[in-house]
Structure formats: structure tokens, C-alpha cells
Amino acid sequence: MRATSPSGNAAYEGEVQWSGELGYGTRAPEGGQSANRDDALTGTKALRDVLESHLLAEDTPIEHTGMQGRMWRAKIGAERNKKKMEATRARMKELRPPEKQPRPKRILMHPTLLLLASSRPTLPDVLVFAASAAVILVGALGVVTSRNPVHAALSLVMTLFGVAVLFIEQEADFLAAVQIIVYAGAIVVLFLFVIMFLGVDRREEIEVDSLVGQRPLAFILIGLTLVGVVVMAATAHWVTGAHQVVGPIHGHITSSPTSPYGEPAQLGKQLFTTYLFAFEATAALLVIAVVGAVVLARRPPMPQDAPPEESATELSS
């Protein structure tokens, strides 16, 4: 009795025929007898798996043609690409320039708005800045757009007070006081004196331009300048200057830290040592200005012809 393999008859595909002694018929094939290669009974693996194990093994000879080659190329190509990509990524990471310091995103941390070098602007700082900025802007617009020169002078006082508040916020107390005294107290008063003296509190026409297109041209030019300055401020590297070139604002003159110099004292110290020449030149300038003003405003003793030329020649000699 021998079981023969199927001889190709389609009806008996996958089935084994017995010989005559045990009776004709068919039965299910035993292990190892069927045409299918993935018979689990005999442990025969599928061709696919066999090929895979062959293809992945390093020492087996690999064919480069046909189905086997295509499968090999696909698999090996994917693996190699993965390794290459990872290698490239690692190299790129090494070669990439070091990351810049992350810029602070909040507008309050912008360098131009940082009020204290060592701490963040607090809410009172922001409020004071906002209030004085509003005062300054209203005053400046008042100076530029008011028809009456007296109104313009008063708006100028408002602006100067706002600027003095900002000075105090920037820890320049002495300068704020000096500004109030000199600017708002002397210069604007001088303006008002001259206005009253000349009697020019008439209304001025501000709708008519002297040149053709003067006002739009002024707005455009100055607007461009302002935009340029602000863009430069926002994108440049601030604080590139050396710190404390001349001297700290709150410095120590002696070695003991319990007697710190205040700001006016430091200002005076630098004024009389480092900037001594400028100080003396400023004093000379003030004297010249006073003399010039006296000469310019001098009334001629007698109604002669062309008194302004006389004062001009005196001034130029």
C-alpha cells in the first residue's frame, strides 16, 4: 500500500489516492504529502518566510534580480535610508549653530521698556509711564496744533512736567528738578514774556500751507523717520555700550558701602572732574548768550537809521 502524490488531476488536487488494496477513494493528505508548502504538521515554513530569513541573513548570497532581488532591495533600501537619515540628522544637530538666547516675548520685557536693569517693570511703573506718556502726547499735540501762542506755551509746560515725571521714573531725580526749574520755570516764562511783549497773541492760520503740499510732505517725511527709528529700536541689539563708562549713577566714593553717593553727588563729581572743560565752556556760553540778548534787545539811544545793523555789527565784532 503506497500513497501516491497527486498526478495532476484537478479533481484530486490536494488529496491523496489510495491504491486498490485498501479501497478506492480519497482521503485527506498526511503531513508532508500535500502540495501546499505551509503545512503546519511537518514544520515546513512558507516560502515567504524562508525567503525573508534568507534575505536578511548577512552571509547568504543574495540575488539582485527577480522577485527576490526586488524584495531585498526594498527592504535593505528602507533600512539603509533609515540609518542614513538618522546619521544625517545627528550630523546636522552637531553642526547647527548654537541657539540664540530666546528673546523675551512679552512687550513689557522689551529692552526699551525695561525700567530697572535688575527687575521687571512692575505695575506702578507701567501706570506712571502710561500716565506721563499721555500727558506728554497731549501737551505736544497742543503745542503743535494750537492757534494761540499762549496756549502753545501752556501746553509746553504740560509736556515738560510729563517729561520731568519720566525723568524721575528713570532715577534721574536731580535732572527732573533742574528741568522743572530751568525749562518750565525760566524758558517758558521767557517765552511768555516775549509773547506778551510782542503782542502776538493773535490767531494764526494753520490751514493754509506756505509751500504747496507742505503739510503732507512733513507728515510723510517725519512719519518715515519715526517708523525707521522704531524699527531700528525693535530689531537692534540694545545696550551695546559699555556699562559705567563714566561712573555709576549710585556710586561709592569710599570703600565703605554704608555711604553711597547719591545721584546729584555723582553728577557733580563727574561734572567737575571728567567734564570740567565742557562745564567751563558752558559757563562761557551762558555769558555770551546773556550779553547777546542784552545787545539784541537794546533800544537805540536815538532814532538813528538802521539800528538793527548797528547791533548786528556790534555782535559780529
Partner 1 sequence: MAAILFSIGAIGLLVRRNVLIMFMCIELMLNAANLTFVTFARMLNDIGGQVLVFFVLVVAAAEVVVGLGIVVAIFRRRSTTVADDMNS
Subset of 217-246 contacting partner 1 (CB under 8 A): 218-219, 221-223, 225-226, 229-230, 233, 238-239, 241-246
Total residues interacting with partner 1, rule: CB under 8 A: 90
| Interface residue with partner 1, options 16, 108, 177, 187 (CB under 8 A) | 187
Query: Any contact of residue 191 with partner 1 (CB under 8 A)?
Result: yes
Site string for partner 1, 194-213 (x = CB under 8 A): xx-xx-x---x-x---x---
Residues 58-77 that bind partner 1 (CB under 8 A): none
- At closest approach, how far in Å is the CB of 312 from partner 1? 9
Residues 283-302 that bind partner 1 (CB under 8 A): 285-286, 288-290, 292-293, 295-297
- Quick one: which H or E segment has residue 26? strand 26-27
> Residue 157 CB: number of other CB atoms within 10 A?
20
Taking the C-alpha atoms of residue 46 and residue 104, their distance in angstroms, rounded to an integer, is: 63
- At closest approach, how far in Å is the CB of 122 from partner 1? 15
Taking the C-alpha atoms of residue 151 and residue 136, their distance in angstroms, rounded to an integer, is: 15
- With respect to partner 1, which residue has the nearer C-beta, 127 or 182? 182
- At closest approach, how far in Å is the CB of 163 from partner 1? 5
- With respect to partner 1, which residue has the nearer C-beta, 257 or 308? 308
Query: Any contact of residue 32 with partner 1 (CB under 8 A)?
Result: no
- At closest approach, how far in Å is the CB of 117 from partner 1? 6
Sequence-distant (≥ 6) Cβ neighbours of residue 26 within 8 angstroms: 12, 15, 16, 17, 18
Total residues found in the chain within this entry: 317
Sequence-distant (≥ 6) Cβ neighbours of residue 116 within 8 angstroms: 125
**Sign of the C-alpha dihedral computed for residues 283, 287, 290 and 293 taken in this order:** negative
Site string for partner 1, 244-283 (x = CB under 8 A): xxxxxx-x-----------x--xx--xx--xx--x---x-
Taking the C-alpha atoms of residue 168 and residue 172, their distance in angstroms, rounded to an integer, is: 5
- At closest approach, how far in Å is the CB of 317 from partner 1? 17
Residue 117's SS3 state is coil
> Residue 6 CB: number of other CB atoms within 10 A?
18
Residue 4 contacts residue 17 (beta carbons within 8 Å) = yes
Residue 252's SS3 state is strand
- With respect to partner 1, which residue has the nearer C-beta, 56 or 288? 288
| Interface residue with partner 1, options 41, 87, 182, 236 (CB under 8 A) | 182
Taking the C-alpha atoms of residue 314 and residue 191, their distance in angstroms, rounded to an integer, is: 25
Taking the C-alpha atoms of residue 55 and residue 68, their distance in angstroms, rounded to an integer, is: 8
| Interface residue with partner 1, options 215, 234, 236, 313 (CB under 8 A) | 215
Query: Any contact of residue 108 with partner 1 (CB under 8 A)?
Result: no
Cell of 136: 506728554
Q: Quick one: DSSP state of residue 16? A: E
Residues 134-163 that bind partner 1 (CB under 8 A): 136-137, 140-141, 143-146, 149, 152-153, 156, 159-160, 163
Cell of 153: 506755551
- With respect to partner 1, which residue has the nearer C-beta, 50 or 234? 234
- At closest approach, how far in Å is the CB of 113 from partner 1? 9
